[in-house]
Amino acid sequence: MNQKKKQVIDLTRELLFELDKDNVGAQVAVLRCQRIAGLIKDEDLYIKTVCELEMYPYTDDEEAINAIAFRINQEQVKSGLAEIELVEIKRRMKAFFPHYREVSLKEVGRPNFRKVYLNDSITTYEEMLNKTRKDNSILHYYVDGKPYMITAIELNRLVCGVKGWVYKEAAQIQIRFEFEEIPLSILEKTISVVDSELLKILPDTATQLAQCYACISNDNPEGWVNVTDTCRRIIKGFADVVFPPQAEEKYGMSLKDNNYLNRIRAFVKQKIPSDRQKQQIETVLECLGEIIARTDNRASRTVHSGQLEQWEAERVLIYTYLVLGDILILIK
């Protein structure tokens, strides 16, 4: 796990813990969420947090919306996020509008409300809530000569609503970053076994696999086509070593040179006693054979037009690792 990912997981855990214990204020929770959004380069979440902190206008006040959009644009650059055009920022802000209406004080214009009360002496929603409770659960104020009042119930609803969406976002980030390591570590274990054991019998495999990685990681469709050919050569090379071609059939299968998958099946039948394990490998072999045949057909039609999809090349490489990994682990 790299340092940045660990930092995201630690910050998310801490934020969720503080929210569970009700030890963090609404605006501080949003600020922490904003920091996490910057780390993971989540543009939408970052915009969402700035909107919350800047008090997204609950009117069609285009001037106010423009001001917040400009602030978001500047903040994104400072946080290392890709700069987004103001028009696109405003579009995303308006897409969030229903969410903010849901957790806002519908009866009160929040921008005016914040302008009056989020000053040097009262800086958080929680402080406003405490003052409201002391003043007979109602807070009176004036904006442009018009009287307004806010109840403790309304303020409490606002605090709970803000904390609620922050908790939901943090929980999703935790699941995404913390638990994605599990399947990755399992796959890395298989890759490690295949790389070390396969090199013992096929020294050229390292170069071939490096070529596959290079082809998949770039944006050249012709390279993706080459991944299928390379994986086929690796599998056939493995079959040639563990079960060389034979003229006669065995186990009801042809074992000639081009029947390399059948030769691997024959090798598995000879070396692995467990029927369950044999069936498991057979299932992966069957899937791998179908994928290679399908991509071969597509590649033959599209090698010049570049229509083979990147995910298809990735799948061929993954299944190659899975089938060889199963065999090498079981016979090791």
What are the domain boundaries of the chain?
3-178, 183-331
Identify which has the larger pLDDT, 42 or 161: 42
For residue range 42-91, list pLDDT tens digits in order. 888 888 887 777 665 445 567 767 777 777 777 766 766 676 777 887 77
Note whether 57 and 115 are within 8 A (CB).
no
Confidence of residue 245 (pLDDT cuts 50, 70, 90): very high
Q: Which of 114-118, 169-173, 290-294 has the highest mean pLDDT?
A: 169-173
Highest mean pLDDT among 37-46, 88-97, 143-152, 322-331: 37-46
State the DSSP code for 257: T
Q: What is the DSSP letter of 250?
A: B
Q: Which H helix or E strand runs over 150?
A: strand 146-151
Residue 141 or residue 326, greater confidence: 326
Question: The tokens 């071969």 sit on which residue?
Answer: 296
- Mean pLDDT throughout 224-252? 88
CA 33 to CA 27: how far, in whole Å?
10
Predicted confidence at residue 244, as pLDDT, reads 93
Predicted local confidence at residue 99, as pLDDT: 52
- Range with the poorest average pLDDT among 89-103, 254-268, 314-328: 89-103
Q: Please report the pLDDT score of residue 330 as a whole number.
A: 75
Q: Residue 317 pLDDT > 70, yes or no?
A: yes
> In the predicted model, what is the mean pLDDT of the chain?
76
Q: Pairing state of beta strands 138-143 and 146-151?
A: antiparallel
User: Is residue 103 over pLDDT 60?
Assistant: no
Question: pLDDT at residue 170 above 80?
Answer: yes
Helix, strand, or coil (residue 139): strand
15 contacts 36 by C-beta, under 8 angstroms: yes
pLDDT band at residue 102 under the 50/70/90 scheme: very low
Which of the pair, 138 or 39, is modelled with greater confidence? Answer: 39
- Percentage of residues in the chain having pLDDT higher than 70: 72
- Whether the Cβ atoms of residue 103 and residue 154 lie closer than 8 Å to each other: no
Q: What's the pLDDT band for 6 if we cut at 50, 70, 90?
A: confident
| Residues 203-213: tens digit of each pLDDT | 877 778 778 88
Of residues 110 and 24, more confidence is placed in 24
**Does residue 306 register a pLDDT over 60?**
no
The pLDDT-based confidence of 118 (bands split at 50, 70, 90) is very low
For residue 14, pLDDT beyond 90: yes
Better-predicted residue by pLDDT, 3 or 260: 260
pLDDT at 32: 93
pLDDT at 94 over 60: yes
Q: Is the pLDDT at 256 greater than 90, yes or no?
A: yes
Residue, of 53 and 25, whose pLDDT is higher: 25
Using alpha carbons, select from 298, 292, 326, 310 the residue that is nearest to residue 213: 310
- What's the whole-model pTM score? 0.50
User: How far apart, in Å, are the Cα atoms of 231 and each of 207, 210, 227?
Assistant: 12, 11, 6
